[in-house]
Amino acid sequence: MSELARKLDAGAFVVTAEMPVIDGGGISEVLRQLEPMRPYVDAYNATDNPAAHAHASSLAVSLALLRAGAEPIMQLSCRDRNRLALQADLVGASMHGVENVSCMTGDDVGAGDEPQAKRVFDLDGPQLIALARGLTRGRYLSGRALVPAPRFVIGAVENPGAPPLEHRVRRAAKKALAGARFLQLQLCFRPELLERFISAAFELGLCERVALIPSVCILRSARAMRFVAEHVPGIEVPASTLARVEQAPDAEEECFELAFELASHALAQPGVAGLHFISFRKDAGIAKLCARLGIPPRSERESDGHRAPLAV
């Protein structure tokens, strides 16, 4: 069983982080990016052509992480592969020991730098989750036997900040029904929307079935924040937040403060199982933020049984 699964099952607080995209630089680039996060992070998302930009594949980065002794969460999006390719990557990943996977629909090709590409979407996110679960039960989608069945800890994503706001949680519930064990939530710069989503999930009893992991992003500049606001699908940055960073004497410091506030707010929500961090800083931004939030390093969390802040 993956460490992530073991922690989720034990109700321990989990910290996941986004591996920065890898282009050149080989395995040593993966190691360089990994090192500053290591003391705090339980598992790392190997992203799958995020925002429809091609990079080293999530499978390749997952294997590099395993080789470095770190636990990957291999993302798989439905945008670039049909059901055959998705199954091949899942079974292939399992062959190398990848257990954590995150199944998603994926941003449209129009969000990327190759909008001429064919969009595939042979399956959708919930169908991909179910397909992965079918594999763990020893069946390809065709019904053909897969022996022994691979082990997967199946995750998915959900966006608490995108319409239809009052129905988002039902889609999250559908993903749990399809077999998702954890849901990493999209960045949300409007804390009231995250709160609304999580309290609806809590009321539905969803938090007991699926671990909710809100995401927090540490940006570095007003320009980067404007880019996120304008170009990353499904993320809304309020004008006041943008103005706050733009007018700050030290934008990088202000971005860090904002990340701290959003993370503190997320941590205070009932039923949150952990946090997912995305950092664009050159230094150990995630470690710094965890320390400021009072999240102990991994080694200490393991010895003192640091629990998820579950308000029951």
Partner 1 sequence: MSAGEVVAEGVAAKLLARVEHAIKGPLWGCQMCGQCVLHSTGLTCPMTCPKTLRNGPCGGVRPDGHCEVRPEMRCVWVKAYERADRLPLWREHIDELRPPVDRRLEGSSSWLNLLSGRDRERPAGWEAAEAHV
* Region from 31-39, 91-99, 164-172, 278-286 binding partner 1, contact rule CB under 8 A: 164-172
Verify binding: residue 173, partner 1, rule CB under 8 A.
yes
Compare residues 123 and 228 and give the one whose CB is closer to partner 1: 123
| Contact in structure between 105 and 145 (CB atoms under 8 Å) | no
How far apart CA 74 and CA 27 sit, in angstroms, is 17
What is the smallest separation between the CB atom of 139 and partner 1, expressed in angstroms? 4
**The only residue of 23, 35, 113, 124 in contact with partner 1, by rule CB under 8 A:** 124
The helix/strand/coil state of 171 is helix
Check binding of 49 to partner 1 (CB under 8 A).
no
- Please tell me whether residue 294 binds partner 1 under the rule CB under 8 A: no
Choose between 124 and 253: whose C-beta lies nearer to partner 1. Answer: 124
CA distances in angstroms from 96 to 59, 238, 255, listed in the order given: 10, 43, 38
Query: For 153, phi and psi rounded to 5 degrees?
Result: -105, 110
CB atoms closer than 10 angstroms to residue 29: 16
Which range, of 16-24, 92-100, 140-148, 277-285, touches partner 1 by CB under 8 A?
A: 140-148
Contact between 247 and partner 1 by CB under 8 A: the answer reads no
Shorter beta-carbon distance to partner 1: residue 74 or 129: 129
Residue 283 beta carbon to partner 1: minimum distance, rounded to whole angstroms: 30
Amino acid identity, position 185: L
Cα separation, 244 vs 124, whole angstroms: 37
Q: Alpha carbon 179 to chain centroid distance?
A: 16
User: Using CB under 8 A, which of 39, 112, 233, 309 touches partner 1?
Assistant: 233
Burial 172-186 (b: 16+ CB within 10 A, else e): bbbbbebbbbbbbbb
**Integer distance in angstroms from the first to the last C-alpha of the chain?**
27
Interacting residue with partner 1 among 141, 204, 224, 284 (CB under 8 A) = 141
Residue 235 backbone dihedrals phi, psi, to 5 degrees: -115, 125
Which residues contribute to the site for partner 1 (CB under 8 A)?
78-79, 83, 104-108, 110-111, 119, 121-127, 130-131, 133-134, 137-144, 157-159, 162-164, 166-167, 170-171, 173-174, 177-179, 186, 233-234, 236
